[in-house]
Amino acid sequence: MKIAVAGVGYVGLAQAVLLAQRHEVTAVTTTPAKADKINGGVSPIVDREISEYLGKGLKLRASTQAELAYKNAELIIIATPTDYDPERNIFNTSTVEFVLDLVGRVNPDALVVIKSTVPVGYSESIVGKFACKRLLFSPEFLREGKALYDNLHPSRIVVGRPKGGMATKEDAELFASLLTEGALDKDIPVLFTNSTEAEAIKLFANTYLAVRVSYFNELDTYCELRGLNTRQIIDGVCLDPRIGAHYNNPSFGYGGYCLPKDTKQLVANFGSIPNKIISASVAANDERKDHIARMIMSRAGGGVIGIYRLTMKAGSDNFRESSIRGVIARLRSAGASVVIFEPTLKSDEFDGIPVVADLDEFKRRSDLIVANRMEPCLSDSADKVYTRDLYFRD
């Protein structure tokens, strides 16, 4: 089968690699450098499994020639970024619509699957607006740095058809079969829904994770201010099998590509529908960063505060929505002197803050080191590290 995938981020590239094990796949990007890397067997994103699979003779090529790729494809997967627009309180779906418009002009009969995260009700709302006749929505459930792994070992597969659309049950079953065919696990739960239900599954799932992160962060705030051993309490709580010991490691707040924008979008989707927990998760995340900044300022004593890494977690190259950036903003507002160690940056400053490239120099210059996640390279400076990482994992 000839497949085109629009977008080579975590979602798009993981999908392309998964399907290219058995099918001819063209990964479409607007960045020539990324296309060159993929065609040279090098992953443009940090993902160990993707890097390994790119060297396994996949039927995969990357291209910047979108029109040609879509024209020749039987299946087109849209995995372009949909950032949250805080002024409009909605995902910016312009990248999705750009692809839909082009596909509608060059290949209206192709099966089109939206993988990008969209507002609840979006797919149904665009039925008839573009010439694409067969449209599906299928949410992704991936972790940064583990995108291909989570495609190879999926927790579930969800495929939704918009009401009023022309995509058939057979179309949905075909796409689900392609995903299960490429996975390593067998007996994967597959759920067929309408597209609005599929969109809601995605947002409610991520918001639950955000609520869980916020819960354990608030537990940690309580313990830190009361002088209690947070780990003892979390261990005792999580031994209840109904709760479990996952997503329980305190942090500076939830962040990354999905949780911040997905929670805000779900709050916006609620509109006038009564809710407390969903909207509280957003407020709780802001309050957590307020608390962390206060604790850092109280410990810094006017000295230089060193920020160890802008990324959310080990193995990630994303710091666009990292919680530490919110903490930094609060520290700067309080007049703190800040330096940053972030080896992925090629500049000597970030948002006007000095970036120290050498780790040893960073340690020497920092009177207090702030680390969302503790790493072994900080062990020799542990006495001046502030972190809430209790389990040394994400």
d(CA 282, CA 304): 30
Predicted pLDDT of residue 144? 84
Q: Is 57 left (phi over 0), alpha (psi -120 to 50) or beta?
A: left
Predicted pLDDT of residue 359? 97
The length of the chain, given as a count of residues: 394
Predicted pLDDT of residue 394? 79
Relative orientation angle of helices 10-19 and 169-182, to the nearest 10 degrees: 80
Mean pLDDT by groups of 10 residues along the chain of 394 residues: 97 98 98 98 95 93 98 98 86 96 98 97 96 96 93 98 97 98 97 98 96 97 98 98 96 87 92 92 95 98 96 64 92 98 92 96 98 96 97 89
Predicted pLDDT of residue 320? 64
The reply to whether 238 belongs to the active site is no
Q: Which residue has the tokens 């049950």?
A: 169
Q: Which of 132, 238, 258, 377 is catalytic?
A: 258
* Alpha-carbon distances, residue 394 vs 2, 55, 143, 359, 369 (angstroms): 37, 28, 11, 22, 19
* Alpha-carbon distances, residue 123 vs 84, 139, 163, 228, 315 (angstroms): 17, 12, 9, 48, 33
Relative orientation angle of helices 277-300 and 195-226, to the nearest 10 degrees: 40
Predicted pLDDT of residue 296? 98
Q: Which residue has the tokens 């969800």?
A: 158
Predicted pLDDT of residue 318? 62
Predicted pLDDT of residue 230? 98
Predicted pLDDT of residue 313? 64
